[in-house]
Amino acid sequence: MTRRKTSQQIQQLVFVGPSTIFFVLIVAVPFFLGLYYAFTDWNGISRQVDGVGLRNFAHIFTKDPAFLNSFWFTAKFTVLGVLLTNVVGFLLAYFLTKRLYTRNVMRTVFFMPHVIGGLLLGFIWQFIFVRGFASIGGATGWSFFNLPWLGTEATSFWAIVIVFVWQNAGYLMVIYISAINNVPKSLIEAAKVDGAGRGQVLRSVIIPLVMPAVTVCLFLALSWSFKLFDLNLSLTKGGPFKSTESVALNIYNEAFNISRFGMGSAKAIIFFVIVALISILQVRATKSREVEM
Amino acid sequence: MDTAKRYRGGMILIEALLILGGLVFLVPFYFLIVNSLKSFGEILTDSAGWPNVFQWGNYAEAWKKTSFPKAFGNSLLVTVASNLLLVLMCSMAAYRMARKPTRYNRFLYAAFVAAMVIPFQAIMIPLVKVSSLLGIMNSIWGLVICYLGFGAPLTVFMLHGFVKSVPLDIEEAGRVDGCTAYGTFFRIILPLMQPIAVTVIILNTLWIWNDYLMPSLILQKPELFTIPIETFAFFGQYTKQWNLALPALVLGITPVVIFFLAMQKYIIEGIAQGSVKG
């Protein structure tokens, strides 16, 4: 009996041990350490770490307009990012599930930007906005392309939105395609026999049946846009005048550029709480609207 | 007859619009590639047209200055090692957690699921401290360890769902035939996991290969740089020197684009699968 027990314990250790150790070291310990640092004035180097109570949080909410701005920017960006990637992704999927000659090639084309990381994409688009758009503008005379895209606050905001949609719509398209393909053909046929038009089939049959995919896609887009970092760093660096600084970038700058690790940790905690809350609410809200098959 | 004709006409219109949209999607790549082969002066005077003379020298210089083979090697090592270890380690954990839901295992699984909502930026500051205490700063293997830790929650979650769908009978048959617990896992369960493992590997590859933040915090020595940090450093040094920056970007995206084109069937299936599970 005891031999069996030790063998079970060894198995537990062998199977679960490694992931537990790495998870604890890399995720759990830093997470709780961060909770502690959030209440200190640690600068990242000094051995001296003094507790400051809630002062970091008070400072963030009362004396740090840059952080509040970054929140406002991220919120606006998230709304547009989630909406546009999903609309574009869904429309592409809807049309690319029809019997088209170039269907497979087009899927590949629309998906491709997603495989390139945000950092490199940001640099590529920096060139497009600075030189490419200017030359299109010069050739066509369309003022849209002659705007100083990365030079003003409003246009840089839209620049990030455009690249974000370009990068991620294809990914959501893939998920929507598989969801639309899973809608039973018989249901669509039945609806058509009953006299439903194409719009009605889309509204009353397809959309309700792909709600689980909508949950997934909203959730993905939400978490991508709220955690916007790489693209932000390489495309605008938060500029001009910090107007396009995302929360993640603000936290990064706080900690690694001006070495206020304590303050950065406090911001990171706020960031985490909001991300966690949104994730939970979002999953709850859409789960209840799914149609059971 | 009439409706069939209208239908076909509509399809042709849709097809044409989609192709147009696809071309618009590809325009950035056109600009990138065409201009990477021009001289600096030509980029400034005419960035839309075809290059007058192909400046292959741009590539030679970018290749040398970014030490591309080295950065590529580092990226490859980190991605392959992290992926293999993650799948092995997490499938073992997921198997055990799904089959032996003791109080401890249920707690651990709940912790993994909860940790999935932690954004990396929320732990990156103390992670730097922890890594230097562990002595894994400035080491490729240290970076791999970070990926093992941060990648574990999602990987375990996805594999756990799969293990639960494998009928117990299969395992019991193995047991009766004299398989040990390890034998059951490695000979029966692990081979069955192949489809979900492919999905997991694809998602983790796209993440790890393209990740900038984690390696930029862990690796400070230039000889350890992966492609994203190398590109970032290079771009910082040669801002606006487009004739060097653009070929460096083309080199940087080439491996992952080739990987995608070669594996696209699996990638697209994997993502559709993964989303259903997620």
Distance CA B142, CA B63 (A): 27
Least confident interval from A91-95, B48-52, B208-212: B48-52
Report the pLDDT value the prediction gives residue B179, as an integer from 0 to 100: 84
Distance CA A161, CA A224 (A): 12
Helices (H) and strands (E) in chain A, counts: 16, 0
Q: How many CB atoms lie within 10 A of CB A233?
A: 24
Confidence of residue A258 (pLDDT cuts 50, 70, 90): confident
Residue B230 token pair: 């190398």
Residue A280 token pair: 């939970």
Of A49, A74, A120, A223, which to mutate for an interface test with B (greatest number of B Cβ within 10 Å)?
A120
Residue B47 DSSP symbol: S
Check pLDDT > 50 for residue B278: no
Contact residues for A97 (Cβ-Cβ < 8 A; gap 6+): A177, A180, A181
CA distance A184 to chain B (A): 17
Q: With the C-alpha atoms ordered B205, B211, B217, B219, is the resulting torsion angle positive or negative?
A: positive
- State whether residue A49 sits within 8 Å of chain B by CB: no
State the DSSP H helix or E strand holding residue A124, giving kind and residue range, or none if neither.
helix A118-127
CA distances (Å), origin A226, targets A107, B60, B101: 26, 39, 34
Which range of A187-191, A278-282, B39-43, B67-71 scores highest in mean pLDDT? It is B67-71
Residue B271 token pair: 């993502």
Q: Which residue has the higher pLDDT, B71 or B2?
A: B71
- Classify residue B77 as exposed, middle or buried by CB count within 10 Å of its CB (0-12, 13-18, 19+): middle
Check pLDDT > 90 for residue B268: no
Q: Which one of A34, A134, A261 has the shortest CB-CB distance to B123?
A: A34
Confidence of residue A288 (pLDDT cuts 50, 70, 90): low
Report the pLDDT value the prediction gives residue B2, as an integer from 0 to 100: 46
Report the pLDDT value the prediction gives residue B172, as an integer from 0 to 100: 85
Confidence of residue A171 (pLDDT cuts 50, 70, 90): very high
Q: Is A40 helix (H, G, I), strand (E, B) or coil?
A: strand
Report the pLDDT value the prediction gives residue A293, as an integer from 0 to 100: 41
Distance CA A55, CA B43 (A): 52
Check pLDDT > 90 for residue B274: no
- pLDDT tens-digit readout, A27-72: 999 999 999 999 988 887 777 778 888 888 988 888 888 899 999 9
Question: Quick one: angle between helices A211-226 and A153-181, nearest 10?
Answer: 150
Q: Please answer whether residues B164 and B98 qualify as being in contact, where contact means their C-beta atoms are separated by less than 8 angstroms.
A: yes
Q: Please answer whether residues A15 and A6 qualify as being in contact, where contact means their C-beta atoms are separated by less than 8 angstroms.
A: no
Report the pLDDT value the prediction gives residue A249, as an integer from 0 to 100: 93
Residues of A in contact with B14 (CB under 8 A): 95, 98, 100
- pLDDT tens-digit readout, A129-154: 988 888 888 888 788 888 888 888 88
The percentage of residues in chain B with a pLDDT greater than 90, rounded to a whole number, is 43
Least confident interval from A9-18, B206-215, B269-278: B269-278
Report the pLDDT value the prediction gives residue A290, as an integer from 0 to 100: 55
- State whether residue A269 sits within 8 Å of chain B by CB: yes
Q: Taking CB atoms and an 8 Å limit, are A124 and B121 in contact across chains?
A: no
Report the pLDDT value the prediction gives residue B267, as an integer from 0 to 100: 86
Q: Taking CB atoms and an 8 Å limit, are B32 and A124 in contact across chains?
A: yes
Q: Taking CB atoms and an 8 Å limit, are A131 and B35 in contact across chains?
A: yes
Q: Which one of B115, B130, B271 has the shortest CB-CB distance to A33?
A: B130
Q: Taking CB atoms and an 8 Å limit, are A23 and B149 in contact across chains?
A: yes
**Cα A173 to chain centroid, rounded:** 15
Q: Taking CB atoms and an 8 Å limit, are B105 and A16 in contact across chains?
A: yes
CA distance B60 to chain A (A): 19
Q: Please answer whether residues A230 and A117 qualify as being in contact, where contact means their C-beta atoms are separated by less than 8 angstroms.
A: yes
ipTM of model:
0.89
Specify the length of chain B in residues: 278
Report the mean per-residue pLDDT for chain B.
Answer: 88
Q: Averaged over A264-282, what is the pLDDT?
A: 88
Least confident interval from A40-49, B62-71, B123-132, B219-228: A40-49
- State whether residue A211 sits within 8 Å of chain B by CB: no
Q: Does domain A64-287 have CATH number 2.60.40.10?
A: no
Least confident interval from A25-29, A46-50, B125-129, B183-187: A46-50
If contacts are CB pairs under 8 Å, which of residues 49-88 in chain B contact chain A? none
B17: closest chain A residue by CA: A95
Alpha-helical runs (H) found in chain B: 2-36, 40-45, 56-65, 68-99, 103-115, 120-134, 140-165, 168-176, 181-183, 190-192, 194-210, 213-218, 227-237, 242-277
Report the pLDDT value the prediction gives residue A286, as an integer from 0 to 100: 62
Distance CA B61, CA B72 (A): 16
- CA angle at B212 for the pair B206 and B216, rounded to the nearest 5°: 145
Distance CA A71, CA A73 (A): 5
Q: Which one of B125, B210, B261 has the shortest CB-CB distance to A265?
A: B125
Q: Taking CB atoms and an 8 Å limit, are B32 and A127 in contact across chains?
A: yes
Q: Which one of B156, B235, B245 has the shortest CB-CB distance to A19?
A: B156
Q: Taking CB atoms and an 8 Å limit, are B149 and A11 in contact across chains?
A: no
Q: Please answer whether residues B218 and B142 qualify as being in contact, where contact means their C-beta atoms are separated by less than 8 angstroms.
A: yes
- State whether residue A142 sits within 8 Å of chain B by CB: no
Report the pLDDT value the prediction gives residue A289, as an integer from 0 to 100: 59
Residues of B in contact with A26 (CB under 8 A): 127, 130, 145-146, 148-150
A44: closest chain B residue by CA: B129
Residue A8 token pair: 């079970």
Report the mean per-residue pLDDT for chain A.
Answer: 87
The percentage of residues in chain A with a pLDDT greater than 70, rounded to a whole number, is 96
Of B125, B129, B227, which to mutate for an interface test with A (greatest number of A Cβ within 10 Å)?
B125
Check pLDDT > 60 for residue B227: yes
CA distance B166 to chain A (A): 18
Q: Where are the domains of chain A?
A: 64-287
Check pLDDT > 90 for residue B73: yes
Q: Omega before B191 cis (within 30°)?
A: no
Q: Taking CB atoms and an 8 Å limit, are A166 and B25 in contact across chains?
A: yes
Contact residues for A141 (Cβ-Cβ < 8 A; gap 6+): none
Q: Averaged over A215-228, what is the pLDDT?
A: 87
Confidence of residue A1 (pLDDT cuts 50, 70, 90): low
Distance CA B160, CA A182 (A): 24
Query: Among B27, B40, B28, B26, which residue's Cα sits nearest to residue B245?
Result: B40
Q: Is A51 helix (H, G, I), strand (E, B) or coil?
A: strand
Instruction: Tell me phi and psi for residue A259, to 5 degrees.
Output: 55, 35
CA distance B57 to chain A (A): 20
Residues of A in contact with B275 (CB under 8 A): 175, 178, 213, 216-217, 220
Instruction: Tell me phi and psi for residue A40, to 5 degrees.
Output: -130, 175
- State whether residue A149 sits within 8 Å of chain B by CB: no
Q: Taking CB atoms and an 8 Å limit, are A116 and B257 in contact across chains?
A: yes
Check pLDDT > 80 for residue B1: no
Domain annotation for chain B: domains and CATH numbers:
2-59 (no CATH), 67-237 (1.10.3720.10)
Distance CA B248, CA B62 (A): 5
Check pLDDT > 60 for residue B277: no
- State whether residue A34 sits within 8 Å of chain B by CB: yes
Q: Please answer whether residues A293 and A209 qualify as being in contact, where contact means their C-beta atoms are separated by less than 8 angstroms.
A: yes
Q: Averaged over B105-114, what is the pLDDT?
A: 92
